[in-house]
């Protein structure tokens, strides 16, 4: 199957509302579209993309905050009603069209070409900051080869004085905020670039470049490691974790169902949002992955297997995380009891009279009933309730637990290698979605893929230098909050509308049956046409309402207090955030207006040359007959050979195709 055909495009005159676009192609100049070496490579690539850092540091937090084991109920329901249906739409349309996001949506209808541009824009924003997380993992990995670990104890100002900032916070928090980030007090203070982070960011982009430089021919080999290694590490941590004191308490605390939480609509919204982001929907990456599959690949089975794997991985990772965090909570609880015991002994030695019941409590290592005599209120439940997510979980809380393990450097090394594998696996998919879209544009076809990939990585590195400043973490959270939220939901909702109501659900159903031999039944029809769009609309409305009602804030580090404080985003930062959101949405509107009202006299070819009929309005009516889609069928090349044979052996030069577009 060909990746692209057109060499030149001529726009004929508009007569009677019909514009004729003539595509020409030079024989022998068109490369075959890349394909996976085998099915295992495809499955590992898509699992590596879908199973990312969010499964490790986001899902456990949501379980803890939203009812423990009860959260699995709304998560499973949203997975079935929202995640799997949209997953099949993206994978199926990519496999059918054999194109990236830009070409696929343009083929369904030229007015929808902006969806591909919007996906590419969002992917660019996310790729910028996602590689910064990989950068931090590299920095921690390098420091993990030191013994003792550099975040195991506070640095000293002199022989007797601990650094005050570390003393007020914790060893791991100090290493994160001061040693690693050298963080600024607010976004108004950039604090300059940190050379050690710049070098790690450069390394991260070099590694990513060499992995994706040849597309799936190069990245397909790496996924054998990036997809399998995290499961090995999780299993090692699980076996070690369940043998630790407090692991059972951590698991019980997490998975004890609090059914009353299900009455809270925010729990269901969190479940729907987590499902949406955990699959990596609307980035265009799944469409790109699907486009490299053979036409008869069973994409329905792939969707179900990957969905189950994704969900089970999130649950499995939660077991590991809370087994380790239970161990950490028990250690802190025991330290609290020991502190009380030593404190009472000191008071007794000073001659103070202590009630016998308090002495018995502290001697038996029981939590006190009051704070009399300056005793600390020790509570295991309170320790377990100290929730953390994201970078706070990975770089502060979990590293604190690792310090307490025998052979701590070993556990730190494999932990950050696991995070690197998860991050790089997802980054491969993110960049593949963006690069596949770029290579579908005609003007980039003649540029060698390694050169264009290198240029994209260089641009991302230069723009990403903002994340290496003292305010870098604040900027990362800004991009995470605004670049990959509202824009992605809008794109996903319009994707579903485009396939089900413009391309036609009957046509898409027939396509799935032709490719897999399985005809999607009532479950798929109901979720595609009704339930999934409604859920996506609810997510979109609630996201917008949340942004309007709640003031946008971020957590900044206060070195004087040794803790984070909540600050409002400055006005100029919110203006940038608005531009980020608009950049993710405006391409959809702009392309529609430009093509609907013919503001452009020239168009850019972003799909394979073919004759197409645009003879329908937005409805469930079939938009293209089978003859229109021959360009995507395996028989298409044979038809072209027959046409050439009819021309005879002396025929040479160009062949022409027409694209008839009715406006």
Where is the binding site for Na(+), in residues? 48, 51, 55, 278, 310, 422, 426
DSSP 8-class letter at 190: -
What's 182's DSSP letter? Answer: -
Looking only at Cα atoms, what is the longest distance across the chain? 114
CB atoms within 10 A of CB 557: 23
Helix (H) or strand (E) holding 24: strand 18-26
What is the pairing mode between strands 553-558 and 18-26? unpaired
3-state SS class at 15: strand
**φ, ψ dihedrals at 70, nearest 5°:** -65, -25
| DSSP per-residue codes, 321-374 | HHHHHHHHHHHHHHHHHHHHHHHHHHHHHTT----HHHHHHHHTT---SS-GGG
Q: Which helix (H) or strand (E) holds 655?
A: strand 654-662
Tell how strand 563-568 and strand 8-15 pair up: unpaired
From the list 551, 160, 509, 101, the residue with the least C-alpha distance to 283 is 101
CB 54 within 8 A of CB 392: no
Q: Burial level of 472, CB count in 10 A (0-12/13-18/19+)?
A: buried
* Residue pair 49/279 in contact by the 8 Å Cβ criterion: no
DSSP-derived secondary structure letter, 135 = H
| Pairing assessment for the beta strands 563-568 and 654-662 based on DSSP bridges | unpaired
Contact 71, 261 (CB under 8 A): yes
For residue 143 the two structure tokens come to 């420091």
Q: Which phi and psi (to 5°) does residue 15 adopt?
A: -125, 120
The SS3 assignment for 12 reads strand
Rounded Cα gap, residues 43 and 242, in angstroms: 30
CB 450 within 8 A of CB 439: no
Residue 563 φ/ψ, nearest 5 degrees = -155, 170
CA proximity to 449, closest of 122, 219, 286: 219
């Amino acid at each position: 199957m060909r990746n692209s055909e057109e060499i030149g495009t001529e726009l004929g005159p508009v007569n009677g509302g019909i514009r004729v676009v003539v595509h020409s192609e030079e024989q022998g100049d068109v490369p075959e579209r890349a394909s996976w070496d085998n099915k295992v490579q495809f499955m590992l690539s898509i699992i590596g993309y879908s199973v990312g850092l969010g499964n490790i540091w986001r899902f456990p937090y949501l379980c803890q905050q939203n009812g423990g084991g009860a959260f699995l109920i709304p998560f499973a329901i949203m997975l079935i009603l929202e995640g799997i249906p949209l997953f099949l739409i993206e994978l199926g349309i990519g496999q059918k069209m054999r194109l990236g996001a830009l070409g696929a949506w343009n083929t369904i209808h030229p007015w929808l070409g902006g969806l591909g541009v919007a996906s590419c824009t969002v992917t660019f924003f996310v790729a910028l900051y996602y590689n910064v997380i990989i950068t931090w993992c590299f920095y921690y990995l390098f420091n993990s080869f030191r013994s003792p670990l550099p975040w195991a104890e506070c640095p000293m100002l002199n022989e007797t004085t601990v650094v005050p900032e570390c003393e007020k916070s914790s060893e791991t928090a100090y290493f994160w905020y001061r040693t690693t980030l050298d963080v600024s007090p607010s976004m108004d203070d950039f604090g300059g670039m940190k050379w050690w982070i710049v070098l790690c960011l450069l390394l991260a982009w070099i590694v990513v470049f060499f992995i994706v430089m040849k597309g799936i021919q190069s990245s397909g080999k790496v996924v054998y490691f990036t997809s399998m290694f995290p499961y090995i590490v999780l299993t090692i941590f699980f076996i070690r974790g369940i043998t630790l004191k407090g692991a059972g308490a951590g698991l019980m605390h997490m998975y004890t169902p609090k059914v009353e939480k299900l009455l809270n609509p925010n729990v269901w919204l969190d479940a729907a949002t987590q499902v949406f982001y955990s699959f990596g929907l609307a980035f265009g990456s799944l469409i790109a992955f699907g486009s490299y599959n053979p036409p008869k690949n069973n994409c329905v089975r792939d969707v179900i297997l990957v969905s189950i794997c994704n969900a089970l991985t999130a649950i499995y990772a939660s077991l590991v995380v809370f087994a380790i965090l239970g161990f950490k909570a028990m250690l802190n609880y025991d330290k609290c009891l020991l502190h009380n015991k030593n404190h009472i002994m000191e008071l007794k030695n000073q001659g103070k009279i202590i009630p016998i019941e308090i002495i018995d409590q502290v001697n038996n290592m029981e939590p006190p009933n009051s704070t009399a005599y300056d005793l600390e209120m020790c509570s295991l439940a309170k320790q377990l309730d100290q929730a953390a997510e994201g970078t706070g979980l990975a770089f502060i809380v979990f590293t604190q637990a690792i310090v307490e393990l025998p052979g701590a450097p070993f556990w730190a090394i494999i932990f950050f290698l696991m995070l690197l594998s998860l991050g790089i696996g997802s980054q491969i998919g993110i960049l593949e979605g963006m690069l596949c879209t770029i290579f579908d544009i005609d003007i980039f076809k003649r540029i060698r893929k390694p050169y264009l990939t290198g240029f994209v990585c260089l641009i991302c590195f230069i723009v990403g230098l903002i994340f290496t400043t003292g305010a870098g973490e604040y900027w990362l959270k800004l991009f995470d909050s605004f670049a990959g939220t509202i824009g992605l939901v809008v794109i996903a909702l319009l994707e579903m509308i485009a396939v089900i109501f413009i391309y036609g659900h009957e046509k898409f159903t027939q396509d799935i049956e032709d490719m897999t031999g399985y005809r999607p039944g009532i479950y798929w029809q109901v979720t595609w046409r009704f339930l999934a769009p409604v859920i996506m609309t609810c997510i979109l409305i609630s996201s917008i309402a949340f942004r309007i009602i709640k003031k946008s804030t971020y957590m900044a580090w206060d070195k004087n207090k040794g803790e984070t404080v909540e600050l409002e985003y400055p006005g100029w930062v919110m203006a940038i955030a608005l531009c980020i959101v608009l950049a993710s949405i405006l391409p959809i509107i702009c392309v529609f207006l430009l093509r609907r009202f013919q503001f452009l006299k020239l168009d850019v070819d972003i799909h394979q040359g073919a004759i197409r009929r645009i003879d329908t309005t937005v409805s469930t009516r079939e938009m293209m007959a089978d003859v229109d889609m021959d360009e995507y069928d395996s028989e298409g090349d044979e038809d072209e050979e027959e046409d050439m044979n009819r021309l005879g052996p002396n025929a040479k030069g160009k062949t022409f195709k027409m694209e008839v577009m009715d406006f």
